[in-house]
């Protein structure tokens, strides 16, 4: 399916806007012009009717033929009919071609207008009554009488004028829309040239050319897009760097273990050491266990970070569980002359995943026992706020804390079984459980790892 052109969309939208805005304005103008011209036509009609009434009131003879219309822009035929009490009806020659309903009985001093139709003719009429005064003794005078006057005028000239105005107001928006359809694509294409230039500059940017960024264009609409694109490039470069580091670390760890196995086999084949088969198998098993632990940690880390490993929530009694975690590290601590102590009163229970929580606490305690100086004291404190583990860390700096959680990163030379994945697993498991994990160095150069578990505490029932 062919993609929609931006210039086409803008053109169509502008054409629609032109039709709506100009069409609405033309409709309003047409209504206003029709109303104004119709009002003036009726005022002229009323003026002629009153002039005829004044002529009759002054006892002048009413015109026997048609009365010329006074409409600006054209002439039209006019007719009248006059009925005075005590006198015979008078009318133009010929009489009005149509009479309004209610004439003459509903005629009063207030003028009443009516639209009349006679075949193809369109007529407007006005009727009103007036008092014709009596005479002063003259032979030609008459007694006062009430007269009713009907004045009818052909509105053909007005209708033609209104029709011409309607055509003008209709063709105007259509012409504007047609011009928009022709001119707007050209204008839009010219205005979109900076986007085309931006697309060309993006062609050479990709994973094969890290570090490249787009320069600001100087347009208010495009500069935010350029800034966001540069942010995406920065995150892409960081991700690629992490992936390269991950691939390099994984290759190194795997190659190291495999090289150990191969070297052990070749040395024993060429220069037998005289060790028993059980000793050789035990060393091979230890190397295989380290490689298996690295692969298992990577699989778990990948599942946690991708969201495939979902926590299995359950209630965990905390005090005995923490005691078991401490007992598991006692052998490692004793081998390095490290004192492992605990204090504080932990909450009665947590709603958590015991396996993921064991990943967190086990790695924190294991790292503390493995990397603390010999003869140091590893302290574990647990209370209602969370868990804190601290140990001496003379070689760490604040810059190192930023790198905590990176895969295969180790500050010190690697110890047996440590592939630099422990803190990455710890951070991923804490995020999966919704627990806050933090690392700080105090002025005494002791590293403190804190785990905030307040959100997982199960309240004790009220007694």
Are 73 and 117 in the same domain? yes
Which of 258-272, 334-348, 371-385 shows the lowest per-residue confidence on average (mean pLDDT)? 258-272
Looking at the structure, do residues 417 and 391 belong to the same domain, yes or no? Answer: yes
Residue 89's pLDDT is what?
87
Q: How does the average pLDDT of the chain come out, rounded?
A: 81
Q: What total number of domains does the chain contain? A: 3
Q: How sure is the predictor about 139, in pLDDT bands with cuts at 50, 70 and 90? A: very low
Domain final residue pick, 274, 306, 338: 306
Place of tokens 């298996």: 292
Handedness of CA 26, 32, 38, 41 (dihedral sign): negative
- Assess whether 283 and 365 both reside in one domain: no
Residue 221 lies in a domain: no
> Residues 216-239: pLDDT tens digits?
877 777 788 888 888 888 888 777
Asked whether residue 186 is assigned to any structural domain, the reply reads no
In the predicted model, what is the mean pLDDT of residues 88-108? 87
Looking at the structure, do residues 247 and 387 belong to the same domain, yes or no?
no
* Shared domain check, 125 and 15: yes
Cα→Cα distances 103→93, 118, 126, 439, Å: 19, 16, 11, 102
Shared domain check, 327 and 441: yes
Query: Checking DSSP bridges between strand 377-382 and strand 339-343, what pairing results, if any?
Result: parallel
Residues 14 and 158 in one domain: yes
- CA-CA distance, 367 to 375, in Å (whole number)? 15
Q: Is the predicted pLDDT of residue 5 greater than 50, yes or no?
A: yes
Q: Confidence band (pLDDT; 50, 70, 90) for 448?
A: very high
| Domain span at 111 | 8-131+145-163
- Asked if 246 and 297 sit in the same domain, the reply is yes
For residue 383, the surrounding DSSP H or E stretch is: none
* Domain boundary, last residue among 306, 334, 358: 306
- Residue 253 shares a structural domain with residue 389: no
Q: Which residues pair with 126 in a beta bridge?
A: 113, 151
Judgement on whether residues 285 and 336 belong to the same structural domain of the protein = no
- For residue 78, being part of any structural domain is answered with yes
Q: Are residues 247 and 369 in the same domain?
A: no
Evaluate whether residue 178 is within a structural domain: no
Let me know whether 275 and 347 are in one domain.
no
- pLDDT tens by residue, 383-401: 989 999 999 988 888 888 8
Sorting pLDDT into bands at 50, 70 and 90, what band is 1?
Answer: low
d(C-alpha 228, C-alpha 210), whole Å: 16
Phi (first) and psi of residue 428, to 5 degrees:
-65, -40
Q: For residue 171, is it within any domain?
A: no
Report yes or no on 84 lying in a domain. yes
Looking at 306, 324, 339, which one is the last position of a domain?
A: 306
* CATH number reported for the structural domain that contains residue 324 in this entry: 3.30.565.10
**Phi, psi for residue 344 in degrees, rounded to 5:** 95, 170
Calculate what percentage of the chain has a pLDDT beyond 90.
14
- Which helix (H) or strand (E) is 123 found in, with range? strand 121-132
Question: Quick one: pLDDT band at residue 315, thresholds 50, 70, 90?
Answer: very high
pLDDT at 379 over 90: yes
Residue 358 belongs to some domain of the structure: yes
224 found inside a domain: no
């Amino acid at each position: 399916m062919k993609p929609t052109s931006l210039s086409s969309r803008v053109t169509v939208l502008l054409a629609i806007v032109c039709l709506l805005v100009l069409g609405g304005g033309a409709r309003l103008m047409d209504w206003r012009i029709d109303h104004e011209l119709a009002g003036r036509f009726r005022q002229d009609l009323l003026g002629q009717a009153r002039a005829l009434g004044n002529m009759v009131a002054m006892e002048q003879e009413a015109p026997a033929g048609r009365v010329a219309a006074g409409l600006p822009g054209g002439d039209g035929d006019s007719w009248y009919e006059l009925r005075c009490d005590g006198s015979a009806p008078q009318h133009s020659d010929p009489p009005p071609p149509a009479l309004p309903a209610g004439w003459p009985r509903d005629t009063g001093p207030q003028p009443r207008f009516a639209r009349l139709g006679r075949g193809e003719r369109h007529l407007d009429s006005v009727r009103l009554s007036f008092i014709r005064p009596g005479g002063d003794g003259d032979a030609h005078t008459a007694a006062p009488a009430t007269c009713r006057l009907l004045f009818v005028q052909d509105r053909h000239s007005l209708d033609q004028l209104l029709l011409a105005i309607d055509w003008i107001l209709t063709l105007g928006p259509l012409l504007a829309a047609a011009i928009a359809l022709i001119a707007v694509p050209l204008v839009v294409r010219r205005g979109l040239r900076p986007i085309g230039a931006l697309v060309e500059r993006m062609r050479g940017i990709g994973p094969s050319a890290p570090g490249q960024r787009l320069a600001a264009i100087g347009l208010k609409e495009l500069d935010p897009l350029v800034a966001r694109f540069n942010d995406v490039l920065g995150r892409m470069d960081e991700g690629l760097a992490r992936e390269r580091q991950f691939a390099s670390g994984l290759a190194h760890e795997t190659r190291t273990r495999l090289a150990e196995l191969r070297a052990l086999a070749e040395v024993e084949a060429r220069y037998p050491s005289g060790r028993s088969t059980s000793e050789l198998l035990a060393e091979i098993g230890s190397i295989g266990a380290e490689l298996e632990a690295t692969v298992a940690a990577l699989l778990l880390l990948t599942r946690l970070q991708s969201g495939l490993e979902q926590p299995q929530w359950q209630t965990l009694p905390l005090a005995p569980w923490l005691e078991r975690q401490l007992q598991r590290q006692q052998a490692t601590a004793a081998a390095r002359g490290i004192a492992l102590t605990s204090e504080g009163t932990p909450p009665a229970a947590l709603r958590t995943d015991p396996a993921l929580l064991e990943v967190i606490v086990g790695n924190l305690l294991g790292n503390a026992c493995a990397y603390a100086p010999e003869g140091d004291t590893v302290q574990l404190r647990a209370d209602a706020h969370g868990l804190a583990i601290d140990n001496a860390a003379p070689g760490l700096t604040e810059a190192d804390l930023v790198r905590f959680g990176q895969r295969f990163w180790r500050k010190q030379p690697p110890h047996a079984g440590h592939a630099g994945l422990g803190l990455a697993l710890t951070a991923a498991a804490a995020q999966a459980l919704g627990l806050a994990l933090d690392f700080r160095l105090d002025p005494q150069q002791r590293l403190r790892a804190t785990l905030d578990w307040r959100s997982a505490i199960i309240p004790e029932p009220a007694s």
